[in-house]
Chain A
Amino acid sequence: MFDPLGMLEIFRTGYAESVYARLNPLVKFILFAVFIILPLLSTNLLLQLFSMLAQIPLIMMSRSGRRVVRSLRASMFFILIIILLNYIATNSIIFSLSMVVRLLVMIIASAIFMNGSNPSEIGDVLSKLRVPTSITFSFIVALRFIPVLADDFMNIVASQASRGHEVERSGFIRRAKSLLPLLIPLIVIAIRRAQQLAEALESRCFGSGKRTSYISYGVSFSDFLALIYAIIVIIVGVSLATLPPSFPLLPFR
């Protein structure tokens, strides 16, 4: 009936061993960022198609093929909507296609990144990017406690079910009301966990000064190659983005 642990899948960075996975996390992040920003530089279909093709080596390196296909399948609905809406708005097939491919590129970039990184690495990247400690930390703690709170929730549902509680299916207000016996204990327990965690962290000197890092990531030859690849992609991409409007296959403004 309930599968809150299924929600975990979104955050499960299904870390698969691969050439990509062994890259320095900062490099992975740069690659990720490149393929998010590049498609946004222009609505040029060539640019979008190039971006997508340029990701193929990455998909192979990170063994994300299956995950990419899954993500695309899941986004099918949105893809169709976007094609439709854009076509209605601009009457241009090319433009609509361009928008769709742009979305696909971003989805693929996320799939690659998620498949090749684990949450701790993402946390490390965030702190290296000078994101404030409180934000980076909240991110890691949240990931750490999602399975814990998911378990708590399962137990709450079981406890309340053993008291005859059932979630109402009809009527918005009735449904909301029947969720209270599940949500209130969850909130109370979450707060209690947070409170106890806070005193434990305090007792280990959290926030008392400059932090050093236990994990260090090396830079290898593959990282250099990856960065060079990124630069080449950027150069080609930018030139495609700045093509004169008379070039074929460009949408009409």
Chain B
Amino acid sequence: MIEFEGVSFRYEGSESYAIRDVNLEIRRGDFLLIAGMSGSGKSTLLRMMNGLIPHFYRGEMVGRVLVDGLDTREASVAQLARKVGLVFQNPDNQIVTLRVDREVAFGLENLGVSREEMISRVNYALSKLKIEHLGRRPTYELSGGEKQLVAIASVIAMKPEILVLDEPTSELDPFSAARIVKILRELNREGITVIVAEHRLDLFAPPSNRLLVVHEGRIKFDGDPREVLYDDPYPLGVKSPGVVKFAKTHGVRGKPLTVGELLRAIVG
């Protein structure tokens, strides 16, 4: 669905490459977790998936990115945004209207969708995110977690096949974060491809089927999360979740990622 072919990118005004020689193929239905230190290139990678790079951010791009066959250097962000929805880190800086349902409808208004269709899609998105009760609330009254849910809803309303999130929970408390993981899991189960860059591996590793570790602009690992998390990824700037640490210290087998799996491994 998304293919990176020999991609490198250097931001205008920067001397070093933000990402280098990236070859990547993201398949339909993946729940891809991208981990790595701040500044490792994760954000750059994500912004290349909907065309923000190279259209919104200037720079030098080598190689090409194909989204369902569309070359991101030629297709516009608007075209790509119909397939790839991007959710960002800061809950406030994505919300532009004064009421939740208007916010969710915003992207649809931009697309010129008819009013009937918009109303049904807004209701769809609000119910998928389980925030129907927030529909008529003013946006400035919401908590950080609620705002992020609204941000995701407003992207989901546009019915993209791929949902990309850049550290969506980094500014949220643990409970709001867990709520978001739960929603993403459900969306993925319903067929939406989910790509998340995150530091909270304890929350995001369990639902993911694939983990990418980015280090200094290069992909240093691409595969089963259990493999790399049990293989000391610390030199790459990634810290394994507490469960892994516990399992390794006590010699538990089976490479569990959650408390449930750990207990099952111990009890047998």
Chain A positions within 8 Å of B, measured between CB atoms, are: 118-120, 140-141, 143-144, 147-148, 192-193, 196-216
A214 in complex: contacting residue of B50, B78, B81, B101, CB < 8 Å: B101
- How distant is the Cα of A136 from the Cα of B163 in the complex, in angstroms? 30
B107 in complex: contacting residue of A119, A147, A204, CB < 8 Å: A204
Q: Are B52 and A144 in contact (CB under 8 A)?
A: no
B98 in complex: contacting residue of A144, A193, A209, A213, CB < 8 Å: A144
Chain-A contact segment, one of B82-90, B207-215, B235-243: B82-90
Q: A211-B112, A214-B115 are in contact. List 15 more A-B contacts (CB 8 A).
A: A119-B98, A140-B96, A140-B98, A193-B92, A199-B47, A199-B56, A200-B86, A200-B88, A201-B96, A203-B155, A204-B107, A205-B111, A208-B111, A212-B118, A213-B109
Q: Are B102 and A202 in contact (CB under 8 A)?
A: no
Within 8 A of A (CB), among B91-116: 92-99, 101-102, 105-115
- How distant is the Cα of A207 from the Cα of B112 in the complex, in angstroms? 11
Residues of chain B with a CB closer than 8 A to A144's CB: 95-98, 139-140
Q: Are A148 and B110 in contact (CB under 8 A)?
A: no
A to B CB contacts below 8 Å, 6 in the list:
A203-B50, A203-B77, A204-B155, A206-B110, A214-B101, A214-B108
- How distant is the Cα of A196 from the Cα of B115 in the complex, in angstroms? 28
Known: A144-B140, A212-B118. A205 touches B81 (CB 8 A): yes
- From A200, A204, A213, A214, residue with most partner B Cβ within 10 Å: A204
B110 in complex: contacting residue of A140, A199, A205, CB < 8 Å: A205
Residues of chain A with a CB closer than 8 A to B195's CB: none
Which chain A residue has the least Cβ–Cβ distance from B140?
A: A147
Which chain B residue has the least Cβ–Cβ distance from A207?
A: B110
Residues of chain B with a CB closer than 8 A to A216's CB: 115
Residues of chain A with a CB closer than 8 A to B112's CB: 209-212
Chain B positions within 8 Å of A, measured between CB atoms, are: 47, 50, 52, 56, 76-78, 81-82, 85-86, 88, 90, 92-99, 101-102, 105-115, 118-119, 122, 139-140, 151, 154-155, 158
Dominant SS among interface residues on chain B: helix
B96 in complex: contacting residue of A141, A147, A209, A212, CB < 8 Å: A141
Q: Are A214 and B140 in contact (CB under 8 A)?
A: no
Which chain A residue has the least Cβ–Cβ distance from B121?
A: A214
Known: A147-B140, A213-B109, A214-B108. A208 touches B78 (CB 8 A): yes
Known: A143-B98, A148-B140, A199-B52. A204 touches B106 (CB 8 A): yes
Q: Are B154 and A204 in contact (CB under 8 A)?
A: yes
Which chain B residue has the least Cβ–Cβ distance from A197?
A: B93
Q: Are A214 and B102 in contact (CB under 8 A)?
A: yes
Q: Are B102 and A199 in contact (CB under 8 A)?
A: no
Residues of chain A with a CB closer than 8 A to B151's CB: 200
Q: Are B102 and A197 in contact (CB under 8 A)?
A: no
Residues of chain A with a CB closer than 8 A to B76's CB: 208
Q: Are A196 and B107 in contact (CB under 8 A)?
A: no
Residues of chain A with a CB closer than 8 A to B52's CB: 199, 202-203
**Min C-beta distance of A139 to chain B, whole Å:** 11
Residues of chain B with a CB closer than 8 A to A198's CB: 56
Which chain A residue has the least Cβ–Cβ distance from B92?
A: A148
Residues of chain B with a CB closer than 8 A to A207's CB: 110
Which chain B residue has the least Cβ–Cβ distance from A210?
A: B112
Residues of chain A with a CB closer than 8 A to B111's CB: 205, 208-209
Q: Are A120 and B86 in contact (CB under 8 A)?
A: no
Q: Please provide the 9 A-B residue pairs with the shortest distance between their CB atoms, ordered closest to farther.
A: A208-B78, A214-B105, A204-B107, A196-B93, A200-B94, A205-B110, A203-B86, A205-B78, A147-B140
- How distant is the Cα of A200 from the Cα of B94 in the complex, in angstroms? 5
A196 in complex: contacting residue of B85, B88, B98, B99, CB < 8 Å: B88
Residues of chain A with a CB closer than 8 A to B154's CB: 204
- How distant is the Cα of A201 from the Cα of B151 in the complex, in angstroms? 11
Q: Are A212 and B88 in contact (CB under 8 A)?
A: no
Residues of chain A with a CB closer than 8 A to B101's CB: 214
Residues of chain B with a CB closer than 8 A to A141's CB: 96
Known: A207-B110, A212-B113. A196 touches B90 (CB 8 A): yes
